[in-house]
Amino acid sequence: MTHSRTAIRNAVASALAADPAVAAIVGPRVYKCRITPPRVGAEIPCLNIMTADDAVELDSEQSSPRRLWHTLTLTIEAVGYGAQSTLPDALDALCEAVEHAMMQDETFGGTASDSWITGTEIAFSEEGQQHLGVATLSYRVEYDEVIGTDSSVLSDFDTAEIRFNLGGTVQLGDEASDFLENIHE
């Protein structure tokens, strides 16, 4: 079974790679969790999709079967290079294409319940004659998981003993009760 973070990263990568405006800028260079820095020229411009922080709501422990409400921080690193005079505008154009593509389906094909951009950080550095720029777009992604609903994980519900006491003075053994067996048959 694929973890939800993996499914979200895959859906975002597919959506960005399929978007004509994004593809016109980065071509096929849409990566997921790339650790190695891309090489100037051969692998830039590019996008790198990361899932960094995944918090679980405290109310999740109150439900049964357990439903875990997640708030995921998804980041998209937009990497570009060029002359100092044109690089900021080129990064802004790439960010605009990414933001537009991300707004087309805030649930990423149903892998999340909602998502929205929370901010963008831009940094520049010099690589010889070229300048390198990285714009990190941060998204808040909400999704939930139901734990323990797989029938291979749950045991059969064979027996239940139900006792009712509607209030008042009732002697032990005088309350209404039901005993059910072989429920799954």
What is the per-residue pLDDT across 28-74, written as a single tens digit (0 to 9) for each?
A: 999 999 988 888 778 899 999 999 899 998 665 666 677 888 999 99
Contacts for 92 with CB less than 8 Å, ≥ 6 apart: 135
DSSP class per residue in 125-160: EEETTEEEEEEEEEEEEEEEEETT--TTTSPP--EE
Asked if residue 23 is part of any domain, the answer here is yes
Asked if residue 155 is part of any domain, the answer here is no
Say what the pLDDT of residue 173 is: 64
Asked if residue 169 is part of any domain, the answer here is no
Asked if residue 153 is part of any domain, the answer here is no
Cβ atoms of 54 and 70 within 8 Å: the answer is yes
Domain with residue 100: its CATH number is 3.30.70.1700
Asked if residue 36 is part of any domain, the answer here is yes
Cα distance between residue 94 and residue 135, in whole Å: 9
Say what the pLDDT of residue 162 is: 63
13: domain range?
4-146
Low-confidence stretches of the chain (pLDDT < 50) are 151, 154
Instruction: Read off the pTM.
Output: 0.76
- Within 13 Å and on the Cβ side, how many CA atoms surround 144? 13
Asked if residue 18 is part of any domain, the answer here is yes
Asked if residue 70 is part of any domain, the answer here is yes
Q: How many domains, in total, are found in the chain?
A: 1
Asked if residue 91 is part of any domain, the answer here is yes
H-type helices in 56-182, by residue range?
87-103
Cα distance between residue 44 and residue 78, in whole Å: 9
